Structure 1
């Protein structure tokens, strides 16, 4: 097997890489392939900003020297301040072994006292005529895919490229959707277990992108990454508060509207004031507005989120901790959390009827929550059997298709007016 790497400035990268690639293609055995590896050393460029160009150059040279100590010829090619290129002749397994060795080297070696984390993108050359710009594109795509998937390395594939193109197009469309406020809001009832009465409603965002529904699980994290979540959240609250005002005129019993929040919204300096402005705009009572925040996101931003929660609670708004029971749950948090409601994740419900352990866990959470004055809502209730089990556990309320799917604002108003019949097998009177 032949392994080779070179050193060059950015301006000479394509030319010098091409020279070595063509040479390596001519020297490799017929059973071997040529792989190009792009090694992205994360945070190296930021360290350069902190330590200065002279020390950063020494660190880069030290990394290149260490890469050259793997038994390869000459030196490592370095460009764009935090990326290196290595060429390797062998097979996919030998290339995988090589990238794992690179990972171990960075894990065990401190460069000028600093440990760095690499991300490696690899691509295989299929022809001696492969253009260099295509080669670098493939390496870069594989590297980005590895980084987004929290992997040490990835091999390039056409499917990976298509996925990245789709993501880029989705980002572009997301900016347009924010500008044009393309969001729809649907409303799913929260229903009391004992009385079969609607006690609340959760606002759920929907995005119809060119006639195709996009899951919030896909575009909400992307909006957070792109810094768009605040704009989206404002648009949803504007629609939801207007809906609450309209439905208040038809409600027989006042209900509470729940709106999902990203922790990034809570950390915005003017978030509290924007909530107040929208509340006053639509003339709704803060006590009829509940904000839901997922448990995992809340725990990651506990200190920063607490300040906004405290301010809003003083004004009468309430808070619900969503997806409780997944990942970070601990009873000790309940003594620190200032929440009115806990929503148990639907994973508890799926095996509720025949899983004794889940029933014991839910019974314990419900009992403790009641002693603390916290209401429990169980998500994902789809069958009569599940509802009956919740009733025996003295659960407060639930959501799910057993009672109703999420409804449009028009469907909800018709429901309150008695003009809409729920597509459900339950015999529930509103």
Structure 2
């Protein structure tokens, strides 16, 4: 009896072990399946960036003598290229290109990044020289077909190729480290006329710096402007250089690591909404100063961009900002950099005309620099013309420049606009400026920028 019970118990234990063994095997199979799934793109079933990483680090050891080069190919020179095709056509295109490059170039590994970009990797035992990278990049470019038959129809193709050397240490640092550089290279290649780019560490560092500047600017504006200060540069009557007629407001950012406005303002100009936030902040802080000042203020000139004038809320925001001091409206002059295509848009004109009806005035800045559209002046939207400083700088040696100055003076008189001559830095240049009640002077000879106020703090409620 005891023997029978022991036999039954042993059989039960054996069955339980088998069950656990089957469950374990099933779990292991599922895990392997998931691992394999993570190595291939879902739509095309081609190897992905995880596969490339695993292949390069197949021995789980870093090989310091291995020097890799990666070519990232963007089909159609657009990240959204495949959205114009159904999944079957996209899969066929990717597969054909994958096979074409793999067969012709015999790379150490090939796959897809984000199921869109073809990544081709080569390896050798010595560092890649730039000329070798360019030579291989051109070989990749020549291998790529300019036409494929897809679904029985020939389709034309164009590409961008971004090339970047990297080490196995870079791979080991994690995907994000490498992906950031890859994304940078791809972006540069897409913007390049030829569609080609070879990684430059100095380019990459500059890009990171620009991104950091934009991030810090956004943060400092959101926090109310405590890290900004205002200066002004006086503009004088030509008939009496002791009389200040206008203050041109200038912005200073109290982050010395980013240099002056010459470095950060061009970056802001590429971000319309950031520029608009900066413009509104400056306007509000000028109004705060005016409200708290006991002095009679001159006219105040504030720079605005063409993109500011394109904003739907520009008129309303300006009106709201100035409602605490409506008398200041007739003293504010908005300076607009000359860019005729933007200024000719109806919405921009409407903003200008509506604000002029309230009493605001407008100046066109840097007139004579680049493309000058005289039609902008004949429409009489502008109360002041500011001549680009290069013109007065050339007048001493260039008769044509002096005649240009005289022509613009007559033009400004004909449309009843004041003429501001910028960049007067020497007594000789000052002597060339006509003493005319319609003419104003700005430059270091008469005054450098002056601090208007200390740190800008958030408006007191």
> Mapping of 1:96-175 within 5 angstroms?
96-97=134-135, 99=137, 118=160, 120-125=161-166, 131=172, 133=175, 135-145=178-188, 152-175=195-218
Answering whether residue 105 of structure 2 is matched by residue 72 of structure 1, we say yes
Distance 1:57 1:15 in 2: 18
Higher alpha-carbon Rg: 2
Aligned to 1:398: 441
Aligned to 1:235: 281
Distance 1:172 1:246 in 2: 31
Distance 1:104 1:193 in 2: 64
CA contact (8 A) 2:302 2:333 kept: yes
Distance 1:317 1:129 in 2: 57
Distance 2:118 2:386 in 1: 48
> Mapping of 1:38-77 within 5 angstroms?
38-40=72-74, 44-48=78-82, 53=87, 71-73=104-106, 77=111
> Mapping of 1:241-390 within 5 angstroms?
241-245=287-291, 249-251=294-296, 255-296=298-339, 299-300=341-342, 302-303=344-345, 304-336=347-379, 338-390=381-433
CA contact (8 A) 2:252 2:261 kept: yes
Aligned to 1:202: 248
Q: State the TM-score, normalized to the length of structure 1.
A: 0.75
Aligned to 1:190: 235
Distance 1:105 1:334 in 2: 55
CA contact (8 A) 2:213 2:258 kept: no
Aligned to 2:41: 9
Gaps of 5+ in 2: 1-38, 60-64, 455-461
Q: 1:165 Cα shift?
A: 3.1
**CA 1:336 to 1:42, structure 2 compared with 1: closer, same or farther past 3 Å?**
farther
Aligned to 1:95: 133
Root-mean-square deviation (CA), in Å?
4.1
**CA 1:65 to 1:97, structure 2 compared with 1: closer, same or farther past 3 Å?**
same
CA contact (8 A) 1:324 1:344 kept: yes
Answering whether residue 271 of structure 2 is matched by residue 222 of structure 1, we say no
Distance 2:349 2:146 in 1: 39
**CA 1:378 to 1:342, structure 2 compared with 1: closer, same or farther past 3 Å?**
same
Distance 1:51 1:84 in 2: 17
**CA 1:175 to 1:87, structure 2 compared with 1: closer, same or farther past 3 Å?**
same
**CA 1:342 to 1:68, structure 2 compared with 1: closer, same or farther past 3 Å?**
farther
SS at the partner of 1:349? helix
Query: How big is each residue's C-alpha offset from its partner over 1:367-392, in whole Å with a ceiling of 9 and x where there is no partner?
Result: 22221222221222211111111237
Q: 1:283 Cα shift?
A: 3.4
CA contact (8 A) 1:257 1:288 kept: yes
Aligned to 2:119: 85
SS at the partner of 1:382? coil
Q: State the TM-score, normalized to the length of structure 2.
A: 0.70
Distance 2:218 2:383 in 1: 35
Query: How big is each residue's C-alpha offset from its partner over 1:215-250, in whole Å with a ceiling of 9 and x where there is no partner?
Result: 255245337527322222211001123334556x53
Bigger shift: 186-195 or 281-290? Answer: 281-290
**CA 1:92 to 1:292, structure 2 compared with 1: closer, same or farther past 3 Å?**
same
SS at the partner of 1:44? coil
Q: 1:260 Cα shift?
A: 0.9
Query: How big is each residue's C-alpha offset from its partner over 1:52-93, in whole Å with a ceiling of 9 and x where there is no partner?
Result: 655655665676678679x53489633225422233577533
Q: 1:36 Cα shift?
A: 1.3
Q: 1:41 Cα shift?
A: 5.2
Distance 1:361 1:215 in 2: 29
SS at the partner of 1:166? helix
Distance 1:246 1:63 in 2: 68
Aligned to 1:425: none
Aligned to 1:415: none
Q: 1:208 Cα shift?
A: 0.9
